Amino acid sequence: MQKKISRIGVLCSGGDSPGMNACIRAVVRTGIYHELEVFGVMRGYMGMVEDDIKPMDTRSVANIIQRGGTILKTARCMEFMEYDGRKKAYENLRKRGIDGLVIIGGDGSFRGAQTFSNEFDIPCIGLPGTIDKDIAGTDFTIGFDTAVNTAVEAIDKIRDTADAHDRMFIIEVMGRDAGYIALHSGIATGAENILIPEKKTDINYIIESLLEKEKRKKLVNIIIVAEGEEFGGANELSKFIKNRIPSLEVRVAILGHIQRGGSPTCMDRLIASRMGYHAVECLLEGRHNVFVGIVNNKMNYTPLNEAVKKKQRINEEWMKIVKILAT
């Protein structure tokens, strides 16, 4: 017989993403609705190891749905990667009677949850909180929509000044291992080229297209590059292009961490609220050690051990669209 869940903990792990607070709010209030005791774990797995865990009530999550970041803070914890650290974390949960966990984070956070659950029989539910949208099993991750809209707004403004001066801009967006922010923001802003880690860059094609555009006096060009692309980001790409085409006026803009902050969009608030609600429902129903995603607007449940092995793949059609629309 499944042990009845009575006390749950919620934490954020890895990089922050807009919408995490909306998700925390949903977990806390859904738990309390079902007469569970809910605890917030500060600074992710580090708070579990260091016993930085506090009880939460409905007032704890008042007026946070519109805020970026996370009220529980987040951190990476090297100690949790070792068995002794995880055992210490388990002891801290056990003395409070916490018998279920909701982890908001990315695939690295899910790996930690899967290992911890296997070792100490604590049921865990993962929620995809990452701006990169790089987890298979969900159409969107919490924070992606806000991050990509932040990038779009910035790129639109940069295009204005590029047009005013007849310049080319190389704009670097976040995406160490995943190119979704670059791909979506690039298509949405009419970028002439989009460079992402998942696809090998044909630099000769880019140079040839820039030379062809220069001949027909198309001097305003926007190239979006994900930070993890093979050239090493916007600065290295700029050096290469200026070396090959000295006549081009090239400027670089690195958007950086503005993509992680800010008030979450309506979509991020909605999916975070739905996922947080369903995470608690999963624990109550005995559906343990899964991550909760949304596919075709329906809830989708992927076992954690499968989620950590799969990456969201770039659809080839997206790349075809980029090529056709950038001519």
Cα of 47 vs its chain's centroid, Å: 21
Kindly report the pTM of this predicted structure: 0.93
Residue 215 pLDDT exceeds 80: no
Query: How far is Cα 42 from Cα 10, in angstroms, rounded to an integer?
Result: 9
Pairing type for strands 290-295 and 124-128 reads parallel
pLDDT for the residue numbered 210: 85
Is 7-143+264-307's fold the same as 145-260's? yes
pLDDT digits (tens, 9 = 90+) for 150-174: 999 999 999 999 988 888 899 999 9
Query: How far is Cα 145 from Cα 128, in angstroms, rounded to an integer?
Result: 13
For domain 7-143+264-307, give the fold: Rossmann fold (3.40.50)
Residue 225 pLDDT exceeds 90: yes
pLDDT digits (tens, 9 = 90+) for 180-213: 999 999 999 999 889 998 888 888 888 888 888 7
Hey, which residues are catalytic here? 132
Domain spans in the chain, listed from the N-terminal domain onward: 7-143+264-307, 145-260
Residue 129, Ramachandran bin (φ over 0: left; ψ between -120 and 50: alpha; else beta): beta
pLDDT averaged over every residue in the chain:
92
The class that CATH gives domain 145-260 is alpha beta
What tokens appear for 327 in the block?
């001519």
Residue 2 pLDDT exceeds 60: no
Residue 105 pLDDT exceeds 50: yes
Using alpha carbons, select from 48, 60, 37, 36 the residue that is nearest to residue 11.
48
pLDDT for the residue numbered 309: 60
